[in-house]
Amino acid sequence: MSGGVDSSVSAALLKRAGYDVVGAFIKVWQPEWLECSWRDERLDAMRAAAHLGIPFLTADLAAEYKQGVIDRMIAEYRAGRTPNPDVMCNREVKFGAFREWAAAQGASLIATGHYARSEGGRLLVSADADKDQTYFLWTLTGDSLAHALFPVGGMPKPEVRALARKLGLPNAAKKDSQGLCFIGKVDLKEFLARAAGDDPSTRPGAVLDMKGQRIGTHPGALFFTMGERHGFDIDRAHKTPDGAPLYVVAKDIAANTLTVAAKDAGGALPGGALSVRVSGTNWISGAPEAGRKLRARARYRAPLAPATAASIGAGTASFEFEAPQDSLTPGQSLVIYDETGRECLGGGIIEGGVL
């Protein structure tokens, strides 16, 4: 129980269904310089558990979170890649260290407030398409799903809120959490600047155009990801005549430079790729066969793009798209769904796109 409404309603639904429910709060690592929020979140979770009349425990997984999420995230940024800490958090903490901790306490199942559904060893999208979180769960395995429950996955968010109010939960009106997994709302650039230390790529550098000409400055290449349009400054002489925004299309960590460009008339950025390579693949209930028609999502909330499995190897895969994709950022997750878009099959880490 995170202290939010989704996990609290999940606990209530499980209790109503006759499960022996224990609320558990996961305490994670937080840097000394960041304002502490976990105590307030745990207090909200404790209040919800007390209201429901269920036991409450705290799992101290600070070391596992620091090593499995934060250290990996910083290493990826230093390598010029853009990781997804929420994906790592689910794999390493919630369905990794926490599941092991819960089993040691005697639990046979863990439940979360994720908007997703599990059926027969398959991971299905939530009933609420706007809140669906299967994108962050692609690293789960059939065994993980066999020991996990998603009680609110079949409900639209307004219905969850309404049930929380009906039950009189003390956090029924609490806003959804945003930001870095568990840590919450935090300025990522400030977090990286402090956590990365004296890395050259956290210092001011040059912004380049597609010809390699210097046209502006940025506060540090480490802080940017592909497709960003804010945070860097373009010299007045090089601003686009029509005021069209410029987007990051490449970055060089060693040289501490960003390359930016405007979208074309069709709304695409230069370098759109028709195929993509991924590594570290995970297939929840078996790898898709080469040639299968699928759908792929390269960013959370991005539209599902029609794709075909070009090759499936041991831990690697490649996919071909029907239309060029300009959001294929190395380090991010490419999550694969069946042709209907209703089942999450798994995914991999984007290595790069091919024109």
Strands 257-261 and 333-337: unpaired
Is 344 noted as a catalytic residue in this protein?
Answer: no
Please provide the DSSP assignment of 174-223 as one string.
Answer: PPPP-SBTTTBS--HHHHHHHHH-S-GGGS-EEEE-TTS-EEEEES-GGG
- Burial label for 351, CB within 10 Å (0-12, 13-18, 19+), is middle
* HSE value, Cβ hemisphere, 13 Å, CA-based, for 118: 22
CA distance 345 to 335: 8
- From the list 181, 287, 298, 344, the catalytic residue is 181
Q: Which of 89, 140, 145, 180 is catalytic?
A: 89
Q: How far is CA 254 from CA 140, 202, 350, in A?
A: 34, 11, 20
Q: How far apart (Å, rounded) are the C-alpha atoms in residues 283 and 288?
A: 8
Count of Cβ atoms closer than 10 Å to residue 23 Cβ: 21
Tell me the two tokens of residue 237: 């002489």
- How far from chain centre, in Å, is Cα 152? 19
The single-letter code of the amino acid at 234 is: I
The tokens describing 144, both together, are 């993980």
89 is known as an active-site residue:
yes
- List, by residue number, the catalytic residues: 89, 181
